[in-house]
Structure 1
Amino acid sequence: MARVSLKGVTKRFGEVVAVNELSLEAKDKEFVVFLGPSGCGKTTALRCIAGLEVPDEGEIYIGNELVNDLDPKDRNVAMVFQSYALYPHMTVFDNLSFPLENAKVPKDEIKTRVHATASLLKIEPLLDRKPKQLSGGQRQRVALGRAIVREPQVFLMDEPLSNLDAKLRIYMRAELKKLQKEIGVTTIYVTHDQVEAMTMADRVAILEGGLLQQFNMPDQIYDQPSNVFVAGFVGSPPANFFDCTLTEERVLDAGEFKYHLPEELAEIATKYASSSDLILAIRPQHIKIHTEEEGRTDLIKAELYTTEPLGERMILDLEVGKSIIKALVEPDFQIQDELWMEFPPSKIYLFDKKTQKSLAFIKAEKRRIGS
């Protein structure tokens, strides 16, 4: 098996920079997910690793080997596409054996590997069927099997579950994650679905505009987003954001309300922000809702605008001036027209409005480089 390293990889299409100086490493046997919206560069980066696109700059290593000049067939990687790409006139057995026959693997070994792969994927009863006789989930398993049977160093997967219905997609997420751990093959998986990324990945690389925004474990990305984009893209319902100005009295003035910063956070804001203009963010589930003001000065008064029942939880849309703020509560919460919000200091995010970067990340970066 092998690690995959990208060092300053850039890919342009005319004047469009699809991937911009991408540097990261997927460790041996690791499950890495490239996550981002459409057009962020994630599929282009995957195709560069596969050899289907040639980077304009940078280096790609599989194991210790520089593969920039290697043809796709010589990279020992297997790619699973969004469309299953099965041969309709061939049986499942023939679809699985086809890449081995092309590689001139002996017939006895082909039979052994096909049956071993089919057993692993629980598709042995389907070996004599053709693709049109299979369900969507079965076709996806065959597509995975065709990659597995080759025994590659690396799996590359481009939104392989996107054509499945919601229920089957949830099932296949768990199956695919379990399968990857059993086989122990380094896997790079592309998706725009944050739930897929956060539930399947060992680490997630978030891309936007061809740039790597953050690369870390799922819980670290959720709890410590590196910038405004990551904080807004990861999490459902999405985070609430407020443009603020930091006053000399350690108060964030958001126009519609004021938020008193604890001394420690105020010091971070003063030391690491480029100006007094900041962005305050908090996730809906981290807002505490009170039905009474309770004589406190740290609560923000709000009017109930509407509710969005979600079954086990309920979203409150709260109006503060002209702003709508979303909060997540239990379904039996006693709603009323007038409520008060509490933003726990340990749950808020502060970003530099100019750079959009997290002040916590700016602080950590400056400490890392010793400035």
Structure 2
Amino acid sequence: MNSVAIRVIPVALAAWALGGWICDAHEVRIGATISQTGHFATEVGPFGDFLKAWAQELNSQGGMPLDRVRVPVRLFLYDDRSEEAVARRMYERMATVDKVHLMLGPYSSPLTFAASTASEIHGIPFLAICANSPKIYQRGYKWIACLVDEAPRYTHRYWEMIKEESLAKSVSFLVEDTLHPKGVFEGARMLAQEAGLQILSVHTAPRDTRDFGAVILKLRAEDPDILFVSANIPFATLFMLQAREQGLKPREFHVTHHGGPFRKALGRAAEGVTGQSYWTPTMGGPGKERFLRLLDLSRISLEDYPWLPAYMMAIQVVEDVLSRSLSLEPSEIMKALKSSQTQTIGGRVWFQENGVGSINTYPSQIQEGSYQILWPKAVATAPHRYPAADQPRK
């Protein structure tokens, strides 16, 4: 029978462990942080519950498949408070105190940039999940691999759709001045040009901006077909509330992070907004039923947290990698990780030499309060509504 231990550590963070009574030689130790509080909590706050449900399920079946045996899992989870310094400290603890065999990265590029230094210093495999800024992978680190493709390609399917439709002719950009939104914007600007759109303007604003009035006035004068908002949920939500209130009406708002908290905050004003999603149940894929079961066990709504499929893909990669690793030696795990070709709910995951992965997002639109995948046609769950119903046509 597995035991559950709660460890109270400095700065009021908690580590959650499964199977703590088993000696170290006969367990797999995996560490991660979740932004349960702070700036990113709106995007990933309850994801620790999902990882706990996964570990509990594995241990109820005898543990993690490792070569030809099953080994109990011990999972260490910490709240990084959405702060880079805290994340760095927690991953250092995982390496030196918890002695983990594998690290799952925190949410966001800034936190991953900071946390992955512990992995590199101590030589521990680090699987980044939602962290795609090119700056992370330009440092020559050997112990990191990332589930997702680099930020500049984050919206490539959206621009393929726009080019194919040949309806939108112009775009303006609003960019949150942080790593991931800036990386996404750099790629989106080039992709928009390749799609034949005229770029009217680029507006960059600090993460903590509270008044968007001046920017909205300029955007109303420009009247772009597409207003592309590259931002995390708190920034995007506040901007959109003010934009709707002040009558800004492009033919389409494309908000890269338009997940559940954004939709709930805007209510009907979120209708028609497009953005990016990793997966919806209608897309199927290997592990679909298991993922939905883990969602039920952890009591998390996919509509509220559309980034969670990336975490499912990550645990699918972890299971595949450890099942092929000859031992829990860091070099063996890393070798298996870099050479993996894992089929997941979101597609095949493989890694480039610098660790960058293959998974990318799909354009989605809020229609009648639900998220619909728009492109490519092979996986689309609804047609693209352009212009949005409440926006004027030119």
Q: Using structure 2 for the length normalisation, give the TM-score.
A: 0.29
Comparing both structures, which one devotes a greater share of its residues to strand?
1
Comparing both structures, which one devotes a greater share of its residues to helix?
2
| Bigger-Rg structure (1/2) | 1
Q: Using structure 1 for the length normalisation, give the TM-score.
A: 0.30
